[in-house]
Chains A and B, each alone.
Chain A
Amino acid sequence: MSAVLETNALVKKFGGITATNSVTFALEKGARHALIGPNGAGKTTFINLLTGVLEPTSGRISLDGKDITNVKAEARVKMGLVRTFQINQLFAGMTPLQALGVAVSERQGHGRDWWRVVGTKASVTDEIVEVAERFRLTDVLEERTGNLAYGKQRLLEIALAFACKPRVLLLDEPAAGVPEAERAELLETIARLPDDVSILLIEHDMDLVFSFAKKITVLVDGTLFADGTVAEISNDPRVRAVYLGEGEHG
C-alpha cells in the first residue's frame, strides 16, 4: 500500500521546547490509523503541523507525494486534508443546514458567488442531503446549532469535515465528552465512514482505538515512540510502561 500523507523528520520547537521531535510518519491509503500518547505527548502540535495551523521548524509534509509544507491551511483543505476538533468548533448561530451549505458550496468552488442565493444549485443540495443522512442530522437540520444535543453537535463536527470531501480525515478525539446514550450512534457513524477516506484517529479512549484502528502510532514527548499493528502495540511492554506510568495521574 502506498502512503497518502507523509511527514519527513518533522520538527517543531517553541523556544527551547521541542514539541515535535523529528517525526517521520506515513498514513496509508484507506488507513484506519490511531495516534495515541500520554497527555503532553505533542499529538495536538502534530495535528496542527499536518493541517497547516502551525509552521514546522524543519522537515517536510507531503500529501499524495506533493510537498505541502508551505501550503496554507485552507488550501490543504481544498486538497483533501481535513480535520475535526477535540472541542467542538461549530457555527453556533447558524443551523446545521446553513453550516453544511457553506461547507459544500465552498468545496464545490462556489464560495465566492455573491449573486446566487445559497442552496439553489442541485449539486450542492444533493450533497447536503447525502451528508445529513450519513450523519443522522436530518431531524435537526433547521435547529440552531447551539441548541443541539451534544451528541448531535459531535456528529455535526464530523459532518462538516466530511462535507469537504476529505481524502485524509484527521479525527481529534471524536467521542470526547459524548454521553453514554449518544455514544453508540456516533461510533457507528465513524465505523461506517467510506473506505477510500484515509483516517487518522487521535484518541485517548483505548476501547475506541482498539475497535477502530488497524494500526497504531504512539507519540511520547514529541517523538515517535512506537509504530505497528494493534496487536504489536498492545503487546509492546514499553508502551504498557508509558501508559501505566501515566495512568496514575490521568
Chain B
Amino acid sequence: MPTKAAVSRLSTLGRWRLPEILFWLAAAASVPLLTEYHLVLTEIAIIALFAVSLDLILGYAGIASLGHTAFFGAGAYAAGLFAIHVTNDPLLGLVAGAVAAAILGFATSFLVLRGADLTRLMVTLGVALVLGEIANKAGKITGGADGLQGVFMAPILGRFEFDLFGHVGYVYCLVVFFVLFVVARRIVVSPFGLSLLAIRDNPLRARAIGIPVNARLTSVYTISAAIAGVAGALLAQTAQFVSIDVLAFHRSADALLMLVIGGTGYLYGGIVGAVAFKVLQEILSVWTPQYWTFWIGAILVAIVLIGRQRIGNGVMGVWARLTGKGGAA
C-alpha cells in the first residue's frame, strides 16, 4: 500500500546520510593528517560542541539565548574545581561539568519559560552576567580575574596522558564531541525531538495535541545546558586552566554567530559555523590583527543580507556541475 510506504519513511529521518559519514571520516582523518593543527582543532571541536548545544534549544525548541555561556562556564569551573578538590580523572570531570551545568540549566529554565523571545534574551543574558560577576568576586574559589590555576589532569582512562602539543587532547575532545553529537542527533529525530519542533512551530497547537510544552522545554534546556557544560569542561581540562573569559558575553554571542553562519535546526550548522568562525578568525587575525572583528562583522552582515540559502544554492550548483549530476538544471 503506498500510504504505508510513505509513512514508513518517517523513520528515515534517523538514517545517516552520505555527506554526514564523509564529514566524520574527514574529522577522524584529521587526527593523523593534521597533527600541526591539533591545538586549533581542539578549540574548534569545543566551540562546535557548544554551538551544537545552543542549536538544540534555538533551532529545535525555538528558545533564543544570549547567555548560553553560563552553562559553558559552569561546566568549565565545575570540571576545574572537581579536578583540584576531588579527583583529576578527566571522564569523571566531564560528568561533574555536565551535572553542574544541568542543575543550573534546570533551575534557570523556569525563568526562561516565562517570557517571549525578548524576555528570554534578557533573562539568559542576565543569568550569564550574574554568574560572570560571581566568578569574578568569589576569587577564593574561582581565582577571580586571574583564573582558576592548578588544574592538572590525570591520564584519560589511566592510560593516555595529555601531551604539550595537544594530540591526546584533540582525540579526547573529538571522541567526546562525536559521542555527544550522536546523542543529540538521536534526540532530534525522536518523538521527543519532533515534539520540540512542533512547539517551535506552534506552541498553541502543540498544547492542543497534548504535548506538555513547559515540561518539554525544561527537559531540552537542561539537556542543552549539560552538553554546553561538557564543552566547558573539555576546555578546562585541555587548557588545564579556567579563565574568567568562559563566562564572557562574547562566548554566547560567538555561538549565535556560528549558528547564523552555519544555519540552525540541523545540528551540523553549529559545526560548519564553528569551523568557518575559527578559520576566519585565524586568517583575519594574521592578515589584520587589530581589525579582524571588523571583518567578521562585515562578513556576518553579508551572510544575513545575501542569505545562506542563496550561498548554499550557489555551492550546490558548482557541486552539481563538478559531478555532472545537475546538468543544465
Binding site for B on A (CB under 8 A): 51, 72-74, 77-78, 82-83, 85, 89-94, 97-99, 101-103, 105-107, 110-120, 125, 128-129, 132-133, 138, 141-142, 160-161, 163-164
Contacts and interface: CB of A to CB of B under 8 A. Distances in A.
B222 to A, nearest CB: 12
Nearest to A163: B209
Given A74-B207, A74-B213, A111-B191, A91 B7 contact: no
B312 interface: no
B208 A102 contact: no
A250 B275 CA distance: 60
A142 B197 contact: no
Contacts of A111: 191-192, 195, 210-212, 216
B210 A106 contact: yes
Contacts, number: 149
A106 B201 contact: no
Contacts of A91: 197-198, 201-202, 205-206
20 contacts: A73-B207, A74-B207, A82-B210, A90-B201, A90-B202, A91-B197, A91-B198, A97-B10, A102-B197, A102-B209, A102-B211, A114-B187, A114-B190, A115-B186, A118-B191, A118-B193, A118-B194, A119-B11, A132-B6, A142-B6
6 residue pairs, one from A and one from B, having the closest CB atoms: A119-B10, A117-B14, A77-B210, A105-B191, A89-B205, A119-B11
Interface residues of B, number: 38
B3 interface: yes
A102 B191 contact: yes
Nearest to A80: B210
A74 B8 contact: no
Given A73-B208, A117-B186, A101 B10 contact: yes
Contacts of B206: 91
A93 B197 contact: yes
B198 A102 contact: yes
Nearest to A140: B6
B7 A97 contact: yes
A98 B3 contact: no
